[in-house]
Structure 1
């Protein structure tokens, strides 16, 4: 067991040196000892390692991310304006141009509300476990272990499925670009999709296997590319494409799914607008590698949604105003996979120009896979650290550069195995991918709901920088929070939005419903939750008690 000691240097009393005493060799659990770090009292007394130790965790990972690198990390993983053009097909079918715009605005406001709550929680406890660690802190003792276990599985599972989904999107996007470039003479096959997916994911693993400092620099570069790429796609659309009347864009609703009325069709297409804003909590799962995490993580969460939401909304407006032939764009999904490729081609009237524009989105999507793999592996590593996964002793091991390499390669292995489903049925893979929204927002709903309960019962104490005066079991606000009464109102809005989105995420897209058009995510989600409950009752409750106190 490590012990901590705080000493002040004689030469500069404004510096605090935190030394964590460990044996010269590895601990019993195979972990490498943390390094000695120096902090300044002038930084709001936010001593990262000391705060992590207060939460019962050893500081094992290198803190290489500052605000700008983690902002680039979150922006690239979110893939907002790139994602909205990629995933707008379903919203165009159920809702039409007006449904895409108004649906996205509602999702943007709702996601901003949810992320404000997550920002408050990440300021209270900035750990890689994120949602499940917060649930463990706030849930009643009678059901804390069970809710923690369920939340951990939902979060871990959702990030693994995000890793698969981004690989599938990239591989099919690449094939769609090739189809356009070859004037539709190329015919994509499923086995080619799988091989491309493996190659893309191998790239993500290679980048993640470098040092955390190199990863931070890479994400800073991606932020620049994310912003430059936005203008490189938007400007040709604005200047070269024929424009339709903006009034038609904001007022044209469609019911392509055959639903009983337009309102029902709009709500069925509503969840697709959230997909471009999913994943901002990736910054949360990198908390133990971020300097001054209690302030930087909340700020990164909020700035990410504001920046990416603005870019995505601007891209929606431009894309829809330049959408001169909606029917051709929707039909192109059968050959090009994504309508936006046809929209680009119709806008610039150049096959080469459209391929370059789509290629920019392809490159940025590949860059986002790096951040997604980093978040998925850190979430897996954190859950394994608390003995919640099979082979936890192996998954928790770090390299000499303090990287969770086993968790990274295990994520790759899961992606490879799940991608084989493509060879059998793309419908089955689609069910797994559509599960992302349900699983991730279920974990958000549990976290937001428990925080609302705690803040309404007055269980959270004011923030204090005097760490020594706080009891380990006491709930205390972090340095970042939404002031009252706005905080409570926002917390209610976040809970309502999560529940509303969950409800509509299980609906099929078309009527009549057939095995091919059925939204199988409800079955998969129910099966996973049911299995988790049964496994906890018969096995996990005997050994899983929540986050382990390592210190």
Structure 2
């Protein structure tokens, strides 16, 4: 049984280990395992992602397809995240994917930090987009003659982005408490919504055959099997963001032990809570055509209305949902700023000296947060032109975030896990190769799958442009690298020998009751980092 460590001593050891990894401690360790776990759950919040995208799943594979796609997407994302949690335990640095790749790759192939940053920016935009659409949904319910315009949605989108930015900067000291509040509110809202739908809709609910067995696709694809695969790729959206704990690891004590928990536990809880919520949504549907014909493309309020029979009740439920989703947007902003800040510390981006600054009063990377809000606001301008292009950006979120998580895992497989990966608190052991290989294969498959059109026949309006978006953004990152940082970038100044000493000291402060005098038990906790070529 692990004993509780002295917090000040633990933080001191963590700071020294971070120094050996090439950085000085700049961010206060204000998060506890509970508050960081709450942030991770609030950001991942599978039930929110599932509710936001339920209409797409229903159109692609009907009720049963949308339902059974959820556990498949959850288990596969959990496998990807398990490999990521191991790396976070080995190298608890806020740069996460960028830093892991730097440490385990050969000198010729170091990571481009901008890939993970773009993924998080896209995630921020997609959450704000869903949030703004829900606000307009509530308006259209109470004012049927109102016809929402793209520019109106854009203004709400920008307002939400900058409100989340203000909370991240001005309320930085209270962020852990805010995340705990949003976590408790999300759990309460989820429970209340699920029970309400099951109870109120019991006299006019969908039959079990529709909920668990109907797979008739309305996507136009001839193969129901392929439509089901598309539904799985759509369900992945609800599990994105599990790496947020890794980007905040320098703000929690004993990160090599606590961060893997913050990565994995919210995914498990998210899957266990999203399943009954999804069943309650499908259970409430009495007219599936009305659900799929919602003009906003986000039919959640129609499902709430069919379940409750009251627009007032549906509005209240959706308002609570939207507020929880705004809490998710705040968490995405937190993670975006930390990711940009962490990469900028190594001068990996243009004008890095600006983005790496930590505000002296708020003790957070305010410049990185402002840049994030500005770029995401500009990205939302495509509302004024093409919603199809924005849909492609949402799919690109999946591609960039998931791919950034498996790149270091692919390097582990190529170079040999035992050659480049140190021992760590969270060790996949003999299952490591299987987990890493499965994660890489799944992500490659997923990257290809999200490039297919979601409906047939293909037209200019419904064409999936995600491949164009991905190639365009990736090319921009590569061009930016070669034009500004090639031959200049050095990376963190890692002291391998000192890191070994610090890691040994950190692990040896964790005393045990029964096996503290057992040399084999102590040796199993000792982590020695080998130099990487």
Length-normalised TM-score, structure 1: 0.85
Task: Choose 356-365 or 520-529, whichever is displaced more.
Answer: 520-529
1:29 alignment counterpart: none
Q: Give distance in 1, aligned partners of 2:221 and 2:491.
A: 45
CA contact (8 A) 1:62 1:212 kept: no
**Displacement of 1:189:** 1.4
**Displacement of 1:481:** 1.9
Q: Give distance in 1, aligned partners of 2:171 and 2:283.
A: 44
Superimposed CA distance per residue, residues 123-178 of structure 1 (whole angstroms, 9 cap, x where no aligned partner): 111111110111111112232x2xx11xx121000111111111111111100011
1:268 matched to 2:214? The reply is no
**Displacement of 1:89:** 1.4
- Report the CA distance shift for 1:246/1:162 in structure 2 as closer, same or farther (over 3 A): same
1:220 matched to 2:180? The reply is yes
2:412 alignment counterpart: 451
- Report the CA distance shift for 1:250/1:459 in structure 2 as closer, same or farther (over 3 A): same
**Displacement of 1:407:** 0.6
**Displacement of 1:15:** 9.1
Which of these residues, 242, 254, 261, is aligned with residue 299 of structure 1? 261
**Displacement of 1:211:** 5.3
Superimposed CA distance per residue, residues 352-400 of structure 1 (whole angstroms, 9 cap, x where no aligned partner): 0000011111100111111100000111111111112121111111111
Q: Secondary structure at the match of 1:541?
A: coil
Q: Give distance in 2, aligned partners of 1:211 and 1:327.
A: 44
1:247 alignment counterpart: 209
- Report the CA distance shift for 1:448/1:260 in structure 2 as closer, same or farther (over 3 A): same
Alignment of 1:25-424 (within 5 A): 38-40=8-10, 47-143=13-109, 145=110, 148-149=111-112, 152-182=113-143, 184-210=144-170, 212-241=172-201, 242-332=204-294, 334=295, 336-400=296-360, 401-424=362-385
2:509 alignment counterpart: none
CA contact (8 A) 2:349 2:485 kept: no
Superimposed CA distance per residue, residues 392-431 of structure 1 (whole angstroms, 9 cap, x where no aligned partner): 1111111113210001111111122112221122222222
- Report the CA distance shift for 1:533/1:198 in structure 2 as closer, same or farther (over 3 A): closer
Q: Give distance in 1, aligned partners of 2:297 and 2:454.
A: 17
CA contact (8 A) 1:268 1:508 kept: no
Q: Give distance in 2, aligned partners of 1:90 and 1:15.
A: 48
Superimposed CA distance per residue, residues 75-113 of structure 1 (whole angstroms, 9 cap, x where no aligned partner): 111131121011011111111111112211110110111
2:475 alignment counterpart: 530
- Report the CA distance shift for 1:451/1:511 in structure 2 as closer, same or farther (over 3 A): same
- Report the CA distance shift for 1:63/1:478 in structure 2 as closer, same or farther (over 3 A): same
CA contact (8 A) 2:205 2:307 kept: no
CA contact (8 A) 2:136 2:148 kept: yes
Which of these residues, 430, 433, 442, is aligned with residue 497 of structure 1? 442
Superimposed CA distance per residue, residues 159-210 of structure 1 (whole angstroms, 9 cap, x where no aligned partner): 111111111111111000111133x222211221111112211221111113
CA contact (8 A) 2:453 2:462 kept: yes
Q: Give distance in 2, aligned partners of 1:247 and 1:207.
A: 46
Cα root mean square deviation, aligned: 2.0
**Displacement of 1:62:** 0.5
CA contact (8 A) 1:64 1:212 kept: no
CA contact (8 A) 1:101 1:316 kept: yes
Q: Secondary structure at the match of 2:486?
A: helix
Superimposed CA distance per residue, residues 438-460 of structure 1 (whole angstroms, 9 cap, x where no aligned partner): 1111112212212334555x215
Q: Secondary structure at the match of 2:191?
A: helix
Structure with a larger share of its residues in helix: 2
Q: Secondary structure at the match of 1:516?
A: coil
1:440 matched to 2:401? The reply is yes
**Displacement of 1:246:** 2.1
CA contact (8 A) 2:20 2:494 kept: no
1:481 matched to 2:443? The reply is no
CA contact (8 A) 2:21 2:492 kept: no
CA contact (8 A) 1:173 1:337 kept: no
Q: Give distance in 1, aligned partners of 2:218 and 2:281.
A: 19
Length-normalised TM-score, structure 2: 0.88
Moved over 6 A (4+): none
Task: Choose 539-548 or 192-201, whichever is displaced more.
Answer: 539-548
2:388 alignment counterpart: 427
2:501 alignment counterpart: none
- Report the CA distance shift for 1:271/1:547 in structure 2 as closer, same or farther (over 3 A): farther
